[in-house]
Each structure stands twice: as C-alpha cells, then as structure tokens.
Amino acid sequence: MNESYVSLLVLAAVALGLGTVILMLNGLLGPSKPTASKLDTFETGNEPEGDARQRFSIRFYLVAILFILFDIEVVFLFPWAVLFKDYVAAGLGTFMFVEMAVFVGILAIGLAYVWRKGALEWD
C-alpha cells in the first residue's frame, strides 16, 4: 500500500474508534429515565397540534429553491465587489464588469420568468 494513505487510514480508524467509544460510554453511563413529558415533541413550549406529516404546497419548495439561487448569487457578488478595484488597477475592470453584468442579467431574466409565471405569489 502507498505510504501516503497510511496516515489517512490511521486518522479514519481513530475517528471511528473514538466515535464508537463515546457512543458506548454515553449509553452505559448516561441517565435514562424517560417520562411522558421528556418523550413529547417540543415546539417552543406549545402543545403540538395536528399531524406532523402534513403536505406542503409545491410553491413553498419553489420559493425555497429561488431563495437559495439568489442567495448563491450574493455569494458570488461579494468577493467580486471586494476585488473589483484591484481588477480596475490591473486593467481588467471593463472585462470583469461585463462578465458580472452578464451573470446578473441571466439571473434577472430567470427572476422575470419566475415572476411572470406566478411562482412568487401565494394563494
């Protein structure tokens, strides 16, 4: 076996062994006195109402996916905005600005499409 993998295998074995030991010690030494109040579902101190397995509208998931999409856009915009002055000084300012304008334009077209289809409206 390659010597570079030996340290990786040792690390994996130690992590697996330590995790197993901690779980076993918790099961053996940890307190276990289940009561009805401990086994009850806790939701901010309120009594649970209805079934926990209710169906959500597909619009909920669409809004969540769109939120993640535009949140990732901000993740790309922030470092670009921080480094833009350095790119201008290096003579790449126009190129970098056009590239980011194309990126934001594509996302704006997607937002307009989703908005026109009514995916952002709640019934």
Q: Residue 61: which of 123, 105, 106, 119 has the closest Cα?
A: 119
Instruction: For Cα atoms 92, 97, 102, give the angle at the middle one, nearest 5 degrees.
Output: 130
Residue with tokens 């295998």, as numbered in its chain? 9
Q: Where are the domains of the chain?
A: 58-117
* Per-residue pLDDT at 40 exceeds 90: no
* Mean pLDDT, range 27-38, rounded to an integer: 84
Nearest to 114 by CA among 63, 71, 61: 63
3-19 pLDDT per residue, tens: 888 999 999 999 999 99
The verdict on pTM exceeding 0.85 is no
The string of pLDDT tens digits covering residues 97-123 is 898 899 889 988 988 998 898 877 776
